[in-house]
């Protein structure tokens, strides 16, 4: 799936996005009219207290959910109008995901974990091996390709998860609390890798975090409160 770039169109755009769950007395409004634009090459940190809507917004931006009302555009294409299969193709070819819990297959080597997105794309065995090895080398794990998650530290497991996210060369990396399970030193190492992907490869980064020290790596910090964008600060 190829999504062509349109002139002067944001990479990602939310317009009047709301998201509700349940009905009647059980109705929960997670998002209450969010307007947001992200340009190609930005590094954006999304912050806010629990229940502020930041994770819901991230799920919509990652094509894991659709708005109740409003519009989400990816390179000018209305994502909510795509079929489920089309959204899956968009995720597969344009988006990479890193989660707090790593989400690695326990009995599978680092190399095989990183190969998974390429398997779904139908790449040949030789191509998968070569690209996965290159991705692991890029995150400093070229000597750990045969190790399973149990044989790796938490920081190393998150490096594998980053390699898996970047192996498809995505347009956007969505990171949900990527340092939440790590100590300060390992958190800094992971953030340096993510910042380098943004700086050196031009990958747009959207990162949910509770930690100001991690948000300081971003060019822009958006804060959610009660389902709305409360502030949008651009850093020098």
- pLDDT-derived band of residue 121, with 50, 70 and 90 as boundaries? confident
- pLDDT-derived band of residue 24, with 50, 70 and 90 as boundaries? confident
Q: Which tens digits make up the pLDDT trace of 147-171?
A: 999 999 999 999 999 999 999 999 9
pLDDT of residue 120: 85
203-225 burial code (b ≥16 CB/10 A, e <16):
bbbbbbbeeeebbebbbbbbbbe
Could you tell me if 4 and 40 are in contact, meaning their C-beta atoms sit under 8 angstroms apart? no
Could you tell me if 211 and 179 are in contact, meaning their C-beta atoms sit under 8 angstroms apart? yes
Domain membership flag for residue 177: yes
pLDDT of residue 191: 96
Give the mean pLDDT of 51-65. 94
d(CA 188, CA 56): 26
- pLDDT-derived band of residue 4, with 50, 70 and 90 as boundaries? low
Give the mean pLDDT of 122-131. 93
201, 202, 206, 207: CA torsion to nearest 10? 40
Domain membership flag for residue 155: yes
| pTM as predicted | 0.91
pLDDT of residue 122: 86
Q: Which tens digits make up the pLDDT trace of 203-226?
A: 999 999 999 999 999 999 999 999
- pLDDT-derived band of residue 236, with 50, 70 and 90 as boundaries? confident
Q: Which tens digits make up the pLDDT trace of 32-55?
A: 999 999 999 999 999 999 999 999
What number of H helices and E strands is found in the chain?
A: 7, 10
Domain membership flag for residue 180: yes
d(CA 87, CA 76): 14
Domain membership flag for residue 93: yes
Give the mean pLDDT of 8-26. 93
| CATH code at position 35 | 3.40.50.300
pLDDT of residue 6: 57
Domain membership flag for residue 5: no
Domain membership flag for residue 3: no
Q: Which residue has tokens 């690695």? A: 104
Q: Which two tokens stand for residue 115?
A: 């190969």
d(CA 89, CA 86): 5
Where in the sequence is the domain holding 109, given as residue range(s)? Answer: 12-234
Domain membership flag for residue 4: no
Q: What's the total number of domains in the chain?
A: 1
Domain membership flag for residue 189: yes
């Amino acid at each position: 799936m190829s999504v062509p770039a349109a002139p002067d169109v944001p990479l990602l755009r939310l317009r009047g996005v709301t998201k509700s769950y349940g009905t009647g007395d059980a109705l929960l409004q997670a998002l209450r009219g969010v307007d947001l634009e992200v340009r190609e090459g930005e590094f954006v940190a999304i912050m806010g207290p629990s229940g502020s809507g930041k994770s819901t917004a991230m799920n919509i931006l990652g094509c894991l959910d659709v708005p109740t009302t409003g519009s989400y555009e990816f390179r000018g294409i209305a994502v909510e109008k795509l079929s489920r299969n089309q959204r899956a193709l968009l995720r597969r070819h344009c988006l990479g995901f890193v989660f707090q819990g790593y989400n690695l297959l326990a009995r599978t080597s680092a190399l095989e974990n990183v190969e998974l997105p390429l398997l779904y794309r139908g790449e040949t065995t030789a191509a998968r091996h070569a690209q996965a090895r290159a991705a692991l080398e890029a995150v400093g794990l070229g000597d750990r390709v045969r190790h399973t998650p149990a044989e790796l530290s938490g920081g190393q497991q998150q490096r594998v998860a980053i390699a898996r996210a970047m192996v498809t060369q995505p347009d956007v990396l969505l990171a949900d609390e990527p340092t939440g399970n790590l100590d300060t030193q390992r958190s800094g190492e992971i953030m340096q890798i993510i910042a380098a992907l943004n700086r050196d490869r031009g990958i747009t980064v959207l990162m949910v975090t509770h930690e100001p020290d991690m948000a300081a790596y971003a060019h822009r910090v958006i804060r959610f409160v009660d389902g709305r964008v409360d502030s949008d600060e651009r850093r020098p």
